[in-house]
Amino acid sequence: MPQLRLALNQIDSCVGDLARNAETIVHWTRHAAGQGAHLVAFPEMALTGYPVEDLALRPSFVEASRAALSELAARLAAEGLGDVPVVVGYLDRCPQALPRYGRPAGAPQNAAAVLHRGAVALSFAKHHLPNYGVFDEFRYFVPGDTLPVVRVHGVDVALAICEDLWQEGGRVPAARRAGAGLLVSVNASPYERDKDDTRLELVRKRAQEAGCTTAYLAMIGGQDELVFDGDSIVVDRDGGVIARAPQFAEGCVLVDLELPAAAPEAPSGELDDGLRVDHVVLSAGPPVQAPAPPERLTPRPPSPYPPQTLGGQAERLDDLEEIYTALVVGLRAYVAKNGFRSVLLGLSGGIDSALVAALACDAVGAEQVHAIAMPSRYSSEHSIGDAAELARRTGLHFRTVPIGPMFDSYMAALGLTGLAEENLQSRLRGTLLMGLSNQEGHLVLAPGNKSELACGYSTLYGDSAGGYGPIKDVYKTVVYELARWRNEAAAARGTPPPIPEHTIDKPPSAELRPGQVDTDSLPDYAVLDRILELYVDRDRGHAEIVAQGFDAALVTRVLRLVDHAEYKRRQYPPGTKISAKGFGKDRRLPITNHWREGA
């Protein structure tokens, strides 16, 4: 049987940075070719970054993507890499009108191309377009109608893009009918908690349906609120795992595959879902010689892309480590890709700001993290002490600015009472943070968690002020779990736990009035989060939630808190998405809404 060395490159692309993305593709192609790869692949829309959103509707960007693709093909050939076929995702346009979809000629397409010997040997567009959760691909793209197949060293390789594997039908059964020996799917599938298990079972199932070895290549890095976790997978035709890449790691997965030789007669005609076979022969015979075993290369400091080869089956991260890593990667990507050098947060001594501070130190380094304590007359001594202790343990920059004089001036002028007086303290802190951000150039991090955002337990222009919310998709109970995990991980490594134990153990409080605790306004978080998970994440109604054993009056109260807080959530900054349904693109409800569950 022919042997094919496949190179799957888990890379981090930046939306709109065509030059940088092309440079990354050239680098990893050079690395893969040096390791004897016969076929090199990059993720979905690797050249443009993903998701491009409304950039897809700008003809100038579409044409820039097409031009960059042609330039990339020419450059690969000029650098002696042209004989290695390279699969690259990019943004294209459909040459013909598609009346069935009501779209004229030139409509955008989520596409990929096979680059070979200085030219585009074959191109194709995504067939199944997702239109759920964070995906709006029917808004932007028209589907492809081909089954692309390239013959590489005597093996027929079918190609697909992301959703082509997630949905039934289409290119997967078509690959079986075409007699493909290998199916390669390029993806930019965002991270979600527990998605790695779902992904593995999906790839196994699709390999069995396609009747051939199947490779699932995934992107890594972060883009706005999305995180990409890698976890590329190769399985045999029976679903047995051949290779599985690490999560959240950039690198090249090299896999030696023994695959069936292609039939003498090339596949042709129309297959499942009306797909038309588009077959191109790149190399008909086997390699001249078997490739040498791949080497593990050591990082070269002058290169911005330390080369590494990822092989075998990587050890999986446990659930909390996976979530924590996703939050770190998301924050790091947002800071770096948006040109910030440092971050700033209010450090209250509470659990939320403590976790955000730990994440920030792990994401960008403690020397780039600035924190400020802003005590009021209601701030407890232990909270002030906990904030200072966290700063000491982590080494972040720390200062204290009491808000008492500012608060007294406002109160003398306005005479606020009750909730307005409490919220004034939070808004003064938000103003201080934003002022320092303007003065010193830091990105302000908002500390709100998903439980608080769900119930509106935050102050507009106060604790919700900021440019990024690292834990906005993390329920309060998970905030505590992550804090404990981070401390335990530090202890296991022999380093100081970053979060003071007292911060984790004490009852949560905003400390805006004497003796205040969160449970004065909210149910116990262990109960609240279970109700929120059913209502927010699973779209369960009042009756269904009560049927799970929750008190009807409590459910009514919680659901009304959630519904009334929609206007606040619309004004909250972006933040890392880790759940199947985060606030924002995943969950879109009207602000003006008179429908009430359980009314």
> What band does 157 get if pLDDT is binned at 50, 70 and 90?
very high
- Better pLDDT: 586 or 144: 144
| Highest-pLDDT range among 40-54, 92-106, 183-197 | 40-54
3-10 and 251-258 as β-strands: parallel, antiparallel, unpaired?
Answer: antiparallel
86 - beta bridge partners?
A: 40, 115
Per-residue pLDDT at 594 exceeds 80: yes
How is the beta sheet containing 309-310 ordered, strand by strand? 119-125, 108-116, 86-93, 39-41, 3-10, 251-258, 309-310
Residue % of the chain over a pLDDT of 90: 75
Q: At what angle do helices 351-364 and 476-493 cross, to 10 degrees?
A: 50
CB-CB contact of 109 with 153 (8 Å)? no
Average pLDDT over residues 43-47: 97
- Mind listing the pLDDT tens digit for each residue in 4-28? 999 999 999 999 999 999 999 999 9
Q: For the CA atoms of 549, 552, 558, 560, what is the dihedral angle to 10 degrees? A: 140
Residue 344's pLDDT is what? 98
Q: Which has the minimum average pLDDT: 11-15, 260-264, 438-442, 530-534?
A: 260-264
182-186 and 213-217 as β-strands: parallel, antiparallel, unpaired?
Answer: parallel
SS3 75: helix
Average pLDDT over residues 476-484: 97
> What band does 309 get if pLDDT is binned at 50, 70 and 90?
low
> What band does 31 get if pLDDT is binned at 50, 70 and 90?
very high
4 - beta bridge partners?
A: 257
Both tokens assigned to 49: 């970054």
- Mind listing the pLDDT tens digit for each residue in 537-547? 999 999 999 99
CB-CB contact of 500 with 347 (8 Å)? no
Q: Give, in order, the Cα–Cα distances in Å from 327 to each of 4, 222, 454.
A: 37, 10, 19
DSSP 251-269: EEEEEEEE-PPPPSSPP-S
State how far the Cα of 211 lies from the Cα of 198, in Å rounded to an integer: 20
Q: What is the mean pLDDT of the chain?
A: 91
Helices (H), 342-449: 351-364, 381-394, 404-414, 418-440
Residue 302's pLDDT is what? 36
Q: Which has the minimum average pLDDT: 183-187, 414-418, 431-435?
A: 414-418
Per-residue pLDDT at 511 exceeds 80: no
State how far the Cα of 526 lies from the Cα of 477, in Å rounded to an integer: 6
Where do we find the tokens 């059913």? Answer: 534
Q: Which residues contact 579 (CB under 8 A, 6 or more apart)?
A: 192, 193, 450, 473, 537, 586
Residue 584's pLDDT is what? 86
182-186 and 155-161 as β-strands: parallel, antiparallel, unpaired?
Answer: parallel
Per-residue pLDDT at 293 exceeds 90: no
Residue 566's pLDDT is what? 94
Q: What is the DSSP letter of 38?
A: S
Residue 297's pLDDT is what? 40
Specify the pTM.
0.92
Closest CA to 88 of 61, 111, 56, 121: 111
Residue 300's pLDDT is what? 33
Closest CA to 13 of 424, 400, 333: 333
DSSP 334-351: HHHHTT---EEEE--SSH
> What band does 498 get if pLDDT is binned at 50, 70 and 90?
very high
How many C-beta atoms surround the C-beta of residue 326 within 10 A? 25
Both tokens assigned to 346: 């209010």
Closest CA to 348 of 426, 295, 408: 426
Per-residue pLDDT at 365 exceeds 50: yes
> What band does 509 get if pLDDT is binned at 50, 70 and 90?
low
Closest CA to 2 of 290, 281, 267: 290
SS3 507: coil
Per-residue pLDDT at 416 exceeds 90: no
Which residues are known catalytic residues?
44, 126, 162
DSSP 474-490: S-HHHHHHHHHHHHHHH
| Highest-pLDDT range among 265-269, 320-324, 413-417 | 320-324
- Better pLDDT: 137 or 215: 215
> What band does 99 get if pLDDT is binned at 50, 70 and 90?
confident
SS3 119: strand
- Better pLDDT: 506 or 295: 506
